[in-house]
A and B are shown apart, each in its own frame.
Chain A
């Protein structure tokens, strides 16, 4: 025990305290992820099933013309790889939100939220930690995909990193925003049906949007308005060393909006407070 004084002057928090907190949260998320091997395996199997089975089957059905950022004719597998990378992040973001609901029910969330550091910062740390985990998954996927002849330029593995961080933050903060509204774990099935599937299918992940436009103009507009489409395109272009500015703007804006929404929702004087006791009242 250090010396006891009755009332200390507020001393705020130093930059190194913020940094310690951030690394601690990321480190813990990483450890937890390593302990949940099934989660890692299923995070990998899901896109690989799409790649190995779905793409192989659809290769003949869907011809892909030359569209930017591609400079030659490409295989369908190559086309959907960025979409699958984004899908990994989409699932990871929603899964983190699931774990936040779980944490809230189990009380783990409380240990995070009683930290004296500003709550917005804690949630940001949590988002960065979730994004870091999604990066591990995406790069593991890219490694396997490389053996499947999905070989972007070597520099692409580096240029895609900032895009992945941004899209990971966007999908993570969306998940966090949704998690603040979910009261119970069971509702996660609803998230699958109403968030994950529509976002994934109404996007450019599986088919180029010009093809969608031929089929249904309305669906095309829907896809264009879908932030997930822009996450996919941002990743696709970055993987080939290019920047899709529109997608960058959309993803950045959505990230900020979702993040502010999530921080607002987790503010004790608003969001959670109105929803009654978390866990048992006693």
Chain B
């Protein structure tokens, strides 16, 4: 996780240009459910090969934002782009580059690990043989090869999450969204998943948007987006966000930012 990305030939040149087209660009997005405004003029970018933490409490609008990026809801105003493809205008091209791990578990519990992966591959039009090869490879990478034929129901929570991440990577996306992926997991499973995803960033150059309300999942060098009550309160590299909030760590920075907005006097 700390080792530098192994540089391979096809990657180094385009990566320079890649900075020009963000993996994910959210541009002036607002959304309301009837009179209730869930998102207000939200804008930020996720760069390729970066880990961006979307930090917010429950009800901050994280899930709404995810639903918009994944085209579950239509965009009411603003624009969402995935590697330059507008999600409203070219959903196919945009979704092809996107992998998602939703907060609720979305596996078929009665199907086997491999069957779950094959189904997902089919949804992306990946033929059976190719899908089987990729599934075997990914199951190996998450250390679940020998469980390939067992039912998902028999897996532990951490194993299910790992499987969901593997599934999200099956069509080789270049942007990965994870909505509070470690909720309900034990310390070890959490650490495993975090390091796995960070590895994807450094080794494969995937852009990651990681929604969380757990501050200890964020590391130095991450990009940070603080979302509170539907508004972006701060964004940028973690160190800058902390400095600008004149705090010592993320925790205090977050409390200052949100506390100042909602409850004068601080505390949350």
Contact = CB atoms under 8 A, between A and B. Distances in A.
Interface string A259-278: 00000000111101100111
30 contacts: A3-B10, A3-B14, A4-B15, A5-B14, A6-B18, A6-B21, A7-B84, A10-B93, A14-B125, A17-B124, A21-B125, A24-B121, A25-B123, A32-B111, A35-B111, A106-B104, A106-B105, A106-B106, A107-B103, A110-B72, A110-B102, A111-B102, A111-B123, A114-B100, A116-B92, A117-B123, A268-B72, A270-B74, A277-B33, A277-B67
B93 A282 contact: no
A24 B70 contact: no
A5 B85 CA distance: 13
Nearest to A108: B106
A13 interface: yes
Given A13-B92, A110-B70, A114-B71, A276 B33 contact: yes
A211 to B, nearest CB: 45
Contact of B63 (A4, A16, A280): A280
A115 B111 CA distance: 19
A281 B84 CA distance: 28
A147 B6 CA distance: 69
Interface stretch (B112-120, B189-197, B249-257, B259-267): B112-120
A112 B123 contact: yes
A163 B115 CA distance: 32
Nearest to B177: A114
Interface residues of B, number: 64
B122 A23 contact: yes
A35 B108 CA distance: 11
B111 A272 contact: no
B88 interface: yes
B104 A8 contact: no
A117 B125 contact: yes
Contacts of A277: 33, 38, 63-64, 67
A268 B108 contact: no
8 nearest CB pairs, A to B: A24-B122, A17-B125, A269-B74, A107-B104, A116-B95, A115-B123, A276-B33, A3-B10
Given A4-B205, A7-B83, A282-B58, A108 B108 contact: yes
A267 B76 CA distance: 13
B96 interface: yes
A7 B48 CA distance: 12
Interface in B55-93: 58-60, 62-64, 67, 70-76, 83-85, 88, 90-93
A14 B96 CA distance: 14
B231 interface: no
B124 A116 contact: yes
A31 interface: yes
A111 B70 CA distance: 10
A17 B128 CA distance: 11
A229 to B, nearest CB: 37
B199 interface: no
A25 B73 CA distance: 22
Contact of A282 (B34, B90, B92, B103): B103
A113 B71 contact: yes
B145 interface: no
A193 interface: no
Contacts of A2: 172
Contacts of A111: 102, 106, 120, 123
Contact of A21 (B62, B110, B123): B123
A108 B72 CA distance: 12
A20 interface: yes
Contact of B125 (A16, A31, A268, A279): A16
B214 interface: no
B48 A282 contact: no
B162 interface: no
A144 B8 CA distance: 64
A18 interface: yes
A280 to B, nearest CB: 7
A272 B108 contact: no
B105 A282 contact: no
A282 B72 contact: no
Contact of A272 (B38, B60, B73): B73
Interface in A67-111: 106-108, 110-111
Contacts of B223: none
Nearest to B76: A273
A83 B6 CA distance: 66
B18 A20 contact: no
A146 interface: no
Nearest to B99: A114
Interface string A206-248: 0000000000000000000000000000000000000000000
Nearest to B11: A4
A31 B111 contact: yes
Given A111-B123, A118-B92, A277-B67, A269 B75 contact: yes
B20 interface: yes
Given A117-B125, A277-B67, 8 more contacts: A7-B84, A10-B90, A24-B119, A28-B108, A117-B123, A269-B88, A278-B67, A282-B58
